[in-house]
Amino acid sequence: MPIINVENLSREFQVMEPMGRFRRRKKTVHAVRGIHFSVEPGEAVGYIGANGAGKSTTIKMLTGVLVPSSGQVSVCGFNPVPQRKALARKIGVVFGQRSQLWWDLPLQDSYPILGAMHRMPEADWRPRFRELAEQMDLGAFLTTPVRQLSLGQRMRGEVAAALLHRPELVILDEPTIGLDMISKEKLRQFLDAERRKNGTTLLLTTHDMSDIQRLCQRVLVVDDGAIAYDGPLTGLADVAGAVRTMVVDLAAPVHSADLFLLPDGAVHEGIEADGIRHSVSFDPRRLSAATVLAAISNTAEVADLSLHEPDIEHLVRELYGSARR
Amino acid sequence: MASSRAIRSGAGRDPQAPVTNLVLLRLLVSARLRSQLAYRGSFLSDVAGQILLGLTEFVELYAIVHNVSSFGGMTFAQTLLVFGLASVAFALGDLLLGETDSMSETIRSGKLEVLLVRPLPVLLQLATSDFQLRRVGRLIFALAALAAALLFADITWDPVKVLLALITPLAGAAIFCALFLGAGAMQFWILDGRQFANAFTYGGRYVASMPGAALFFPIQIFFTFVIPATLVAYAPSLVILDLDGPAGIPVWTGWLGLPAAVVLSGLMLLLWRAAIKKYTGAGG
């Protein structure tokens, strides 16, 4: 049985739009329009889309914060809004921008309270807390008040808080936003291990492609309130025709793009810094980065290079274009 | 291991014990109190400020009574009884639900969503997260004023009056809790409704702490039978002091405090539920 099942789900809002000086007109905004999807237990799903595409609205409907205008939602077998408190015991929610920790207390003081809210006896929550504290490396700042933690430390604390009651489903809204590389990596490793070990289902929204690549086997792309793509990430790149870009710095300047004998599928994009810096885009399905580098090295010595992945916003834009065509 | 040493063990409690409502409540309130003590300097100045605020209100009342010799048909000590009862009731209500008047901030900042995804009633979380210990300063001053009034007001006590004197602060506290709750609920509809809501809560306190006879007749009716502010202190004081009430607040209304508290609390709880439903129905 799917852990999340969404059928023909829609949500619209009435907003007042100014018309002239005093008059206002009611306007209906369709935030989510008739989406369908289901998630099986143990899956890790990335829910992506541009700002205002309907991600937060969907998450609010899944967690029982918002009633759908029409359609069916079932999460962990519950109807979210009428059974909000029962559902809250089965799911863990991390809102990237809002804290659920006790701001002025040492980090470790939040967990006994959260344990009690979920009616876990001490023998139940304390071993779980020890396990989380160890895996997330919270030990060094457990006695620090939450308000004094760095964003990365606090976010690890937030995730531990959301997982304390061993939820079947964890919903994370932008969990890595603003984190440094090391904190991001720690968080991803932890979430992945948690899913493999306990079969926890993950649903996360993010703007960071690496989150999806590291964590999710499946992506849902929402665009203008509708699901534009549902499938594996590699498939998304196929659909969108994503290109990678290699930027090389040469040892000696080369002033003409024609001097490079690039293989099919690679395109010279531009020259900067008086012939030192060249950028080449290529189709990752047809060419490897090594092939492209070898072709460039035939013409000139490469001193330095960097590779740029297609970003999510770009992919979504491509997809949006192709879906409308 | 450093992490396990840093965690205090719950000494003396059975780790297998189920979590009762009482245990949970104690945890929530004690977390709140410790949060406030985290800023020791600001906490102490807050308590002092609250005492000073109570003192200012008292001086204001004293200035009036001192110059007119009888305020709404009451002597100074009798006025002090009204003031003391009203202050105790307000301080208790404020202590429990005072911060609901910043509900619009809770909604706007998204904090409400965090409360909604926890398996506890939102109201319980709000009451415990806003348990303002600094408001104890106000309560201390109010209790002192009440004690002084009971000493100096020349009351001929009988068991019925003792009973009324005990019920009155509690019923009054419930009335103010209900007013605060209504003020919080109102802000789901009027997002900038804080000032409007304050008119009922702080305005109610102002009316409650003065002799009702000094009010204009229609105002007497309004603050007795619509917003039961005079029932908090003035009407019961009439009974305790064996005085006659003004036209809009007859003596028998002295016994209406408790029923009014029950009815008003019930209504405001319904309004609160409707407010939460409105939020989940319409978003932020």
Closest approach of A105 to chain B, Cα-based (Å): 6
Angle, vertex CA A96, rays to CA A220 and CA A173, nearest 5: 15
Residue A320 pLDDT level (bands cut at 50, 70, 90): low
The separation between the first and the last C-alpha atoms of chain B, rounded to the nearest angstrom, is 45
Closest approach of B107 to chain A, Cα-based (Å): 12
Residue B266 reports pLDDT greater than 80: yes
Q: Are B116 and A119 in contact (CB < 8 Å)? A: no
Percentage of chain B exceeding pLDDT 90: 30
Residues of B in contact with A103 (CB under 8 A): 35
Element (H, E) at A266: strand A266-272
Residue A312 reports pLDDT greater than 70: no
> Which one-letter DSSP state was computed for residue B74?
B
Chains A, B: CB contacts within 8 A come to: 116
Residue B1 reports pLDDT greater than 60: no
Nearest to A93 among B23, B39, B117 (CB): B117
Q: For B218-239, what is each residue's pLDDT tens digit?
A: 888 888 888 899 999 999 999 9
Residue B72 pLDDT level (bands cut at 50, 70, 90): confident
**What distance in Å separates the CA atoms of residue A86 and residue B118, rounded to the nearest whole number?**
9
Residue whose entry in the numeric block shows the structure tokens 């002090």: B80
Greatest mean pLDDT range, A55-64, B5-14, B92-101: A55-64
Per-residue b or e along B174-199, where b marks 16 or more CB atoms closer than 10 Å to that residue's CB: bbbbbbbbbbbbbbbeeeebbeebee
3-class state of residue A7 by DSSP: strand
Least confident of A76-90, A178-192, B266-280: A178-192
Identify the closest residue of chain A to B121 by CA–CA distance.
A85
Q: For A233-259, what is each residue's pLDDT tens digit?
A: 777 766 666 677 888 888 888 887 777
ipTM of the complex: 0.75
Residue B283 reports pLDDT greater than 60: no
Nearest to B114 among A14, A98, A108 (CB): A98
Residue B192 reports pLDDT greater than 90: no
Beta-carbon neighbour count of residue A241 at 10 Å?
13
Q: Are A139 and B3 in contact (CB < 8 Å)? A: yes
Give me the residues of A, 115-134, that contact B with CB < 8 A.
115-123, 126, 129-130, 133-134
Q: Are A60 and B283 in contact (CB < 8 Å)? A: yes
**What distance in Å separates the CA atoms of residue A53 and residue A207, rounded to the nearest whole number?**
13
Better pLDDT: B27 or A309: B27
On whether any CB of chain A is under 8 Å from the CB of B66, the answer is no
Pairing assessment for the beta strands A169-173 and A91-95 based on DSSP bridges: parallel
**What distance in Å separates the CA atoms of residue A226 and residue A149, rounded to the nearest whole number?**
38
Residue A223 pLDDT level (bands cut at 50, 70, 90): confident
B44: Cβ contacts below 8 Å, ≥ 6 apart: none
Nearest to B7 among A66, A105, A142 (CB): A142
Residue A267 pLDDT level (bands cut at 50, 70, 90): confident
Reported pTM: 0.78
Six-digit token pair at A2? 């799917």
Give me the residues of B, 12-31, that contact A with CB < 8 A.
13-19, 23-24, 27-28, 31
Least confident of A40-44, A131-135, A207-211: A207-211
